[in-house]
Chain A
Amino acid sequence: MAIAHEFEYFKPESLEEAVKLKARYGDRARLLAGGTDLIVKINDELESPEAVIDLKGIKEMKRLEFKDGRLFIGPLVTFSELIDSPEVREKFPLFIEAAETVASGSIRNRATLVGNICSAVPSLDSGTPLLTYEAEVIARGEDGERTIPIAEWFVGPKKNALKEGEIVVGVSIPEPPKKHGGCYVKLGRYRGEDLAQVGVGILALEGNEYRVAFCAVGPIASRADKIEKLLQGKKLDNGLIEEAIKLVPEEIAPIDDIRATGEYRMHMAGVMLGRGLRAAVARLNGQGPEYGISVI
């Protein structure tokens, strides 16, 4: 038994060839890396591409490299490969903490970070670390290459900033300028494989600098500018955390759905923000729970 929808399958061996194919088919073609989202979507008839372009024949797309202060993640790099990289773990611990909560091991063995951001669901676990580490997405089309700051990448639920005919060729993440601690807090219905009901990603940098982002509580994953502004330059204490939690309703717009009510999400976002801030600052100071230990 096959998927009901029929399509043509291409497996180009070079990026140039892939770009040409994508330009030729435009939105009628879908790119295939891990396939963990795409196959479900085609099966459910949410997507009916005329052509599927498998990127796995393009060697350069497998690149995972830290060079000149930046981490480069190619479109074929899986979550498992990121988690298994000692360099990523050392330099971008928040990223690993979030990546380890993505689905389950055998999904992470196939699912790619680039695929995750291209699917752009509001609950994506990779969203808050990419936003707080201030990643850039590199896209290539027939007219050349452009760089899209991650803050401009998510444009709506399941919508990204790619133009028709463009292909993501990688994500580039700068190492934070100062020593940092991070914390990704994910609320799910149970431990194990589940999407986030609420996700909070926090970076605490030396010198009382904070970066905060939320996912699953609005149409897109996004930074919390008002909370960041409040925290900036201040030493974290209980009073400051209370003030930050009061700003949460100004930053997020959670909805009711099958996984949680908006009211519950709103309340938990505040609780998670407080605990996440404490853990991130503690980790910055070499204390707090180990990365991977949930604070809720």
Chain B
Amino acid sequence: MKKMITFTINGELRSVEVEPNDILLHILRDKLGVTSPKIGCERGDCGTCTILLNGKSVRSCLMLAVEADGQEIITVEGLSDDGLTPLQDAFIKHNSFQCGFCAPGMILAATELLEKNPHPTKGEVKEAIAGNLCRCTGYEPIIEAVLDVSSQSN
């Protein structure tokens, strides 16, 4: 049975009709046109579908769309009203992505980390992105970008 759900996505209130078995990732991409969360493993292992749900990183491939009703979602499209965030700039500066498939998830996982812990150790950065797979960079440029932003914040 279809259900109308309403949630905030990147600061905008949106309503959409979904079936109980619709996965949030697909609704975001196909019905709302928010395509930064990517379709990867679709079983919670790769992290490329990561979104921020009420400020916490979660896998949108492991959520039913109906579970998003009344919640607040942020994807990289909505991280900043005004250009790129310092972390996104640092990703460019450090060549932290090549194909870019993992980047939205990486940036959100690292954004959550820096919110909670503005000055993480290298080990804490590794732990924060441990669930996000990257097949291009070998991870080092990503870790450098996060540590660079951290060293420049108060």
Determine whether B149 belongs to the interface, using a CB cutoff of 8 Å to chain A.
Answer: no
- Give chain B interface residues in 3-62, CB to chain A under 8 Å: 3, 19-23, 26, 30, 42-45, 47, 50, 53, 56-59, 61-62
CB-defined contacts of B56 to chain A, threshold 8 Å: 80, 106, 109
CB-defined contacts of B3 to chain A, threshold 8 Å: 9
Cross-chain pair count, CB within 8 angstroms: 96
Determine whether B79 belongs to the interface, using a CB cutoff of 8 Å to chain A.
Answer: no
Asked if B21 and A107 sit within 8 Å, CB to CB, the answer is no
B66 to chain A, nearest CB (A): 6
Chain A residue at minimum C-beta to C-beta distance from B39: A1
- Give chain A interface residues in 1-53, CB to chain B under 8 Å: 1-9, 11, 32, 35-36, 39-40, 42-44, 52
Asked if A193 and B131 sit within 8 Å, CB to CB, the answer is yes
Chain A residue at minimum C-beta to C-beta distance from B43: A40
C-beta contact mask, A162-189 vs B, less than 8 Å → 1, else 0? Answer: 0000000000000000000000000000
Interface residue total, chain A, C-beta cutoff 8 A: 32
Taken together as a complex, chains A and B put the C-alpha atoms of A109 and B57 apart, in Å, by 7
Asked if A107 and B43 sit within 8 Å, CB to CB, the answer is no
Known contacts A2-B19, A192-B130; A106/B47 CB under 8 A: yes
Interface residues on B, range: 35 or more
Partner of B26, one of A2, A6, A39: A2
Taken together as a complex, chains A and B put the C-alpha atoms of A43 and B21 apart, in Å, by 10
Chain A residue at minimum C-beta to C-beta distance from B130: A192
Partner of A35, one of B19, B62, B113: B62
Asked if B130 and A105 sit within 8 Å, CB to CB, the answer is yes
Taken together as a complex, chains A and B put the C-alpha atoms of A261 and B56 apart, in Å, by 37
Asked if B66 and A106 sit within 8 Å, CB to CB, the answer is no
Asked if A106 and B43 sit within 8 Å, CB to CB, the answer is no
Determine whether B109 belongs to the interface, using a CB cutoff of 8 Å to chain A.
Answer: yes
CB-defined contacts of A104 to chain B, threshold 8 Å: 47, 130-132
Determine whether A103 belongs to the interface, using a CB cutoff of 8 Å to chain B.
Answer: yes
Taken together as a complex, chains A and B put the C-alpha atoms of A80 and B112 apart, in Å, by 13
Asked if B58 and A110 sit within 8 Å, CB to CB, the answer is yes
Asked if B42 and A43 sit within 8 Å, CB to CB, the answer is yes
Taken together as a complex, chains A and B put the C-alpha atoms of A103 and B41 apart, in Å, by 15
Determine whether A275 belongs to the interface, using a CB cutoff of 8 Å to chain B.
Answer: no
Asked if A5 and B21 sit within 8 Å, CB to CB, the answer is yes
Taken together as a complex, chains A and B put the C-alpha atoms of A192 and B67 apart, in Å, by 27
- Give chain B interface residues in 107-149, CB to chain A under 8 Å: 109, 112-113, 126-128, 130-132
Asked if B130 and A193 sit within 8 Å, CB to CB, the answer is yes
Chain A residue at minimum C-beta to C-beta distance from B113: A105
Chain A residue at minimum C-beta to C-beta distance from B55: A109
Asked if A36 and B20 sit within 8 Å, CB to CB, the answer is no
- Give chain A interface residues in 188-208, CB to chain B under 8 Å: 191-193
Known contacts A40-B62, A54-B67, A192-B131; A6/B109 CB under 8 A: no
In the complex, 24 of the A-B residue pairs with CB atoms within 8 angstroms, ordered by the A residue number, are A2-B21, A2-B26, A3-B21, A4-B21, A6-B20, A9-B66, A32-B67, A35-B67, A36-B44, A36-B59, A39-B23, A39-B62, A39-B64, A54-B66, A56-B67, A105-B109, A105-B128, A106-B59, A106-B109, A109-B53, A110-B58, A110-B63, A193-B45, A193-B131
- A binding-site residues for B, Cβ under 8 Å: 1-9, 11, 32, 35-36, 39-40, 42-44, 52, 54, 56, 80, 103-107, 109-110, 191-193
Known: A1-B26, A107-B59. 17 other contacts (CB 8 A): A2-B23, A3-B21, A4-B21, A5-B21, A6-B20, A8-B20, A32-B67, A36-B62, A39-B64, A52-B64, A56-B67, A103-B44, A103-B131, A106-B47, A106-B50, A106-B58, A193-B45
